[in-house]
Amino acid sequence: MHALTQLAAFVSGQPKGALPQEAREAISLLLLDLVGATAAGLRSPLAAAARQAASDVYGDGDAQVWLTNRRLSVAGAAMANSAAASALDIDDGHRGAAGHAGAGVIPAALAVGQAIKASDADILDAIALGYDVALRVAASRPTATIETYASGRWVGYGAAASAGRLLGLDAIQMAHALAIAGSEGPIVFPTGSSKFQGSTVKEGIPPAVVAGVTAAYRARAGATGPLDLLDREDRYDRSILLGSLGTTWELQKCYLKPYACCRYMHAAIDAILTLRQNGRDIKHLRIETFPQGLRLANERAPSSLEGGQYSFYFSCALAALRGREALQPVDVSSLNDPEVIRLASRIELEASHDFATSFPVRTPARILMDQGDGVEEMVVDYPLGDVANPMNWDQVANKFINIGKVSLTSQHQQGIVSAISGLGENGFGPLLAALAVSETYN
């Protein structure tokens, strides 16, 4: 049997409402984190352009564009919400997948669920299954075969799984939905392309969401795809793709991000923030990391927020000089901060043999910093938010308050936190109501 067919049978055949309590709690935490990322990125040029394009191309409908007064078609709302959620690179991720599932899966599940008036249990199942499919596909790829870690290459599988589950696709239809999504998702540039990483194309998540959602609707209407898509054993490890289906849930292995930049540099930032002494000049700053970290664009003076998100030099200099809050999220004015740019121009960045085989399981860093009293050294193996160093509910709620205040009032933020914390008792109704506001952002 094709690997994709087995995966589809699991998605369509998973008993309704059978998620373990731990998985339900993980969904609530991931929802809170993603809505915070959406609030932070709502006014960004990337998100604004996506909203306008979604409205122009896909038209009005019944699905909410979060934190605005707009309702668009399923594809339009899913695209717009995924763009805002992923705009500032502060959305959840997964070490095995080396990318971000939530910004694709959750917008797809809520858009379809709201449009067809799905039950709370069905939406929860769709979110969990969407994460599982997307992350299994991504994590099953041998590291040596991956030319880009952009999430757009695989998150469409999760969007198709979520949408297909909500639409009630049978196993064969589901298999074709996954096959269509995998075949027609965005190509995305190879890792390290500065034009890619420094632009609003970035991770390629919004177009992958559109491809995944529409794949499910097309499969329901009778469209077919190549069912052998995941059968290449040199490209996909079946033990990861299909092992322990329904007994382990990949969304429980997701990391959360306290800083609005690529996860590769979070260990370095944690170490810098720990060692930094306010008011002292930085005489020397050296970063040693894993080899894949040097494949980022790493512009010393990025001209866009997207470029800054993929730069060790800029993000670490910003953390060293302006502190944690400057990365929660990054303000566009920081790109023109002369002190930050000067420090970024002096930072040394090298790959360490000590970390040669760490990725993607770990994203460690060693910092060597001289602030006038000699070189201090610190190694961080698991940055804050990692599964081995997790953020709890209070920390995620505090992150939400910090990064969401640019778009939301304190009262609105508290309403969203309350709605998500009460998800188990009250369902998605209060949250969907809280995500609709009277303002329109262009």
**132-183: pLDDT as tens digits:** 999 999 999 998 778 888 899 999 999 999 999 999 999 999 999 999 999 9
* Helix runs in 93-154, H state only: 102-116, 120-139
Which domains are assigned to the chain? 3-257+415-434 (1.10.4100.10), 263-380 (3.30.1330.120)
pTM score: 0.93
Element (H, E) at 210: helix 205-220
User: Would you call 92 exposed, middle or buried from its count of C-beta atoms within 10 A (0-12, 13-18, 19+)?
Assistant: buried
pLDDT of residue 189: 75
pLDDT of residue 92: 97
User: Would you call 411 exposed, middle or buried from its count of C-beta atoms within 10 A (0-12, 13-18, 19+)?
Assistant: exposed
pLDDT of residue 421: 97
pLDDT of residue 437: 83
**Strand arrangement, sheet containing 348-351:** 348-351, 284-289, 365-370, 375-380
Q: In whole angstroms, what is the distance from residue 47 CA to residue 44 CA? A: 5
**101-143: pLDDT as tens digits:** 999 999 999 999 999 999 999 999 999 999 999 999 999 999 8
Q: In whole angstroms, what is the distance from residue 110 CA to residue 188 CA? A: 25
Contact 103, 37 (CB under 8 A): yes
| Token pair in block for residue 93 | 């991720």
pLDDT of residue 196: 58
293 versus 196: which is more confidently predicted? 293
pLDDT of residue 144: 76
Can you point out the beta strands (E) in 269-387?
284-289, 348-351, 365-370, 375-380
